[in-house]
Chain A
Amino acid sequence: MITAAWICLLSPLAASLAITLGGTRLSRRQAGYAATFSVLVSFVAALVAFFQLLNDAPEERSHVSTLWTWLSAGEFEVGLSILVDPLSVFMMLVVSGVGFLIVAYSIGYMDGSDEERRYFAYMALFVFSMLLLVQSGDLVILLSGWGLVGLCSYLLIGYNQERPQAIAAAKKAFIMNAFGDATMALALFVLIQRLGTLEYGGVFSQIDSVGGDWAMSLIALGLLGGAVAKSAQIPLHTWLPDAMEGPTPVSALIHAATMVTAGVYMLVRLNPVFEQAPGVQDLAAGLGATTLLVAGLIALVQTDIKRVIAYSTMSQIGYMFLGAGLASYGNSMFHLMTHAFFKALLFLGAGIVIHALVSEQDIHRMGGLGRLLPKTYAAMLIGALALAGIPPLAGFFSKDSLLAAALEAGPYGQLLWAVGLAGTFLTGLYTFRMIFIVFGGEPSPFVREHLHRPGHTMPALWMAWTVGALAVLSVVGGWIQFAGLWHPLSDFIEPVAVSGVEPSGLQDAVTSVLAVGLGLTGIGIAWWIYSARRAVVPRFALAQQVLEHKFYFDELYDAVFYRPGVWVAHAAMRFVEGPLIAGSIRGLTEGTRLVATRVTEAQTGLLRTYALALGSGAAILTLVFLAVRA
């Protein structure tokens, strides 16, 4: 099991290194195969580990393996260790499974790009980093994986190196995540100071001895900061829509299925820590709820197909945060998994559309694609329905149980429950707005002109079968768990994270009915406006403007952080570095030179002056001697 876990972890790294070092000796397509194969190996290894884990008794399903001491200082030690337990195995499966499909899809999607090797090396590296994140047995290793996925995200968003927008988006993503990394690091410092260790076992067993609510809240807040940044929750969410500059499979893998959900994973993984700081947990849930609402609203006005999906990702992760914050861990993880399926599906489907329209992403230039790309339409439809939570698709099961748990969690939970329900309405609305605009109606002139139908070529097949697989998963993926009746997943995770809320059957039922109803309402309105075109799109100037400016977050950060930062930097250059640092030495030398000139002016060349100096020197010396002594 340990071996399998290590193989799972290291296989993509090996592929990444091999592709990097191989350089041109590997053909482009070979690079793709190598990456895909390595992720497949990971998936198989994860499966092996999963089954081996099942052999253990539930309470013994936790194994730590340390390769070597990674870092040490005095008493403090960090082992390069992995932890194999239900939660990590579950995440390994999701990451390597979905990862495998998306990487495989990339073989088709990226075909013809002249830097495929770089792409696949990055992708493999990303899978490794993500696995490191989920498998780590120590907070420092977790943070390392955390940082490395951020790095890969940066590299892949900026994959189109020549596009300034891509590079800017990449930098933005990295820096906002670096901020999250920093707050996490601070939390870790508190832990080191209080507990002297960062190994999960050690931390969890001593967490109640941290001492002081203040310290505990600080720890939890710091960690939450990392999670919020990574999962693009308000207020650190602005990087995610921009990140859509990356190739579509990247958006699917990193910015939908895996990396952005790492925050949820962490909330669950570190639940013993967060439970010591209930206020912070509530904050997490609240942030999740806010995000799901705000993102849903913004998604209503987006015109870029990928950005619509990106905002829906934010919104869905908001659900997960809501769940994890309310201690409904099993449901959170469940939604994480189903979301990985259907969101990957949506992205990949969108990828086919974009591919077919030669990189066009504006939905208003699309239209009528349903007839031209029927299979893609079907797949997208499955994804959209799953996203909107329509039974019996995956989203229905996970989202509803999650909301039901909220209803159980006291007044605060009920408030969030209401928000979540509102979100389902929005979800239906914006998702089907997109679907109807893109696929419905007659083909637009643009489409007619630019569409190039993917033939039955090798690349197209790679894209097709992976999307198909995901479509299937989006349908059946939710069936492994159904409300209170059937919950093997929650049970499996139970040894790691005991859910704090168990909704009753009634609550489940009420929630389901309302959620599905609201979802359908949303879809209906969307149909009414965008497909049947019975009503014009309602216009509220102010709201429109606010939404199109994404609630002015970018402008706010620009005004609060970036501009003052640049100003400070300019000021430092202009007022400190120039006059003070360089100027002081210049002033000093010039001053000395001036004195020197004066001194040498006294050297008149006249011997009378010299004798005078001698004479007065002697006179003064004598005078002083006499004065001192007598």
Chain B
Amino acid sequence: MKGPDVSWYVTLSAFLFAVGALGVLLRRNPLIVLLSLEIMLNSANLALIGFARHLGDTAGQVFALAVMAVAASEVVVGLGLIVALNRNRIALDVDRLNTLRG
């Protein structure tokens, strides 16, 4: 069973990474920004797992699992922040979070 080699996967992950980055850079809703960050982390995971298969080394998969946990933690904190912002009746728009500047 010979499928696409690892460069395909990595290229795909690069595309995903770029899409995620674009999301972070373009979107103003913090929730979508968080979702985009998830895409970025997942793209890295894809690369890791792809390389793990390519190298025949489980370490990559382990790394990916750990990244998942980290991503989940970030989501928790990020969502907590969004909830807190919402509680303070602050518009969920990162462009309006600009009291600190200059």
Contact = CB atoms under 8 A, between A and B. Distances in A.
Interface of A: 600, 603-608, 611-612, 615
Interface size class, chain B = 10 to 19
Nearest to A619: B21
Given A600-B102, A605-B100, A611 B25 contact: yes
Given A605-B102, A607-B97, 8 more contacts: A603-B101, A604-B101, A605-B99, A606-B95, A608-B24, A608-B95, A611-B21, A615-B21
A600 B101 CA distance: 8
A608 B25 contact: yes
B25 A606 contact: no
Contacts of A607: 94, 97
B98 A612 contact: no
B25 A615 contact: yes
A606 B21 contact: no
Contacts of A612: 25
Nearest to B97: A607
Nearest to B100: A605
Contacts of B99: 605
Interface string B58-102: 000000000000000000000000000000000000110111111
A605 B101 contact: yes
Nearest to B28: A608
Contacts of B12: none
B26 interface: yes
Contacts of A603: 101-102
Contacts of A611: 21, 24-25
A606 B26 contact: no
B36 to A, nearest CB: 10
A50 B94 CA distance: 107
29 contacts: A600-B102, A603-B101, A603-B102, A604-B98, A604-B101, A605-B97, A605-B98, A605-B99, A605-B100, A605-B101, A605-B102, A606-B94, A606-B95, A606-B97, A606-B98, A607-B94, A607-B97, A608-B24, A608-B25, A608-B26, A608-B28, A608-B94, A608-B95, A611-B21, A611-B24, A611-B25, A612-B25, A615-B21, A615-B25
A437 to B, nearest CB: 87
Nearest to B36: A611
Contacts of A604: 98, 101
A612 B94 CA distance: 14
A606 B99 CA distance: 9
Nearest to B30: A607
A597 to B, nearest CB: 9
A600 B102 CA distance: 5
Nearest to B24: A611
Contacts of A615: 21, 25
Interface in B4-48: 21, 24-26, 28
Query: Which residue, B94, B99, B101, has most C-beta atoms of chain A within 10 A?
Result: B101
A604 B100 CA distance: 9
Nearest to A609: B25
B45 to A, nearest CB: 19
B23 to A, nearest CB: 10
A612 B24 CA distance: 9
Contacts of A600: 102
Contacts of A608: 24-26, 28, 94-95
Contacts of B98: 604-606
A150 to B, nearest CB: 65
A607 B34 CA distance: 13
A533 B77 CA distance: 122
A250 to B, nearest CB: 73
Contacts of A606: 94-95, 97-98
A488 B25 CA distance: 113
Which 8 residue pairs across A and B have the least CB separation, nearest first?
A605-B101, A605-B98, A600-B102, A611-B24, A607-B94, A612-B25, A608-B25, A615-B21
A606 B24 CA distance: 12
A513 B37 CA distance: 124
A611 B36 CA distance: 12
Nearest to A604: B101
Contacts of B97: 605-607
B32 to A, nearest CB: 12
Contacts of B102: 600, 603, 605
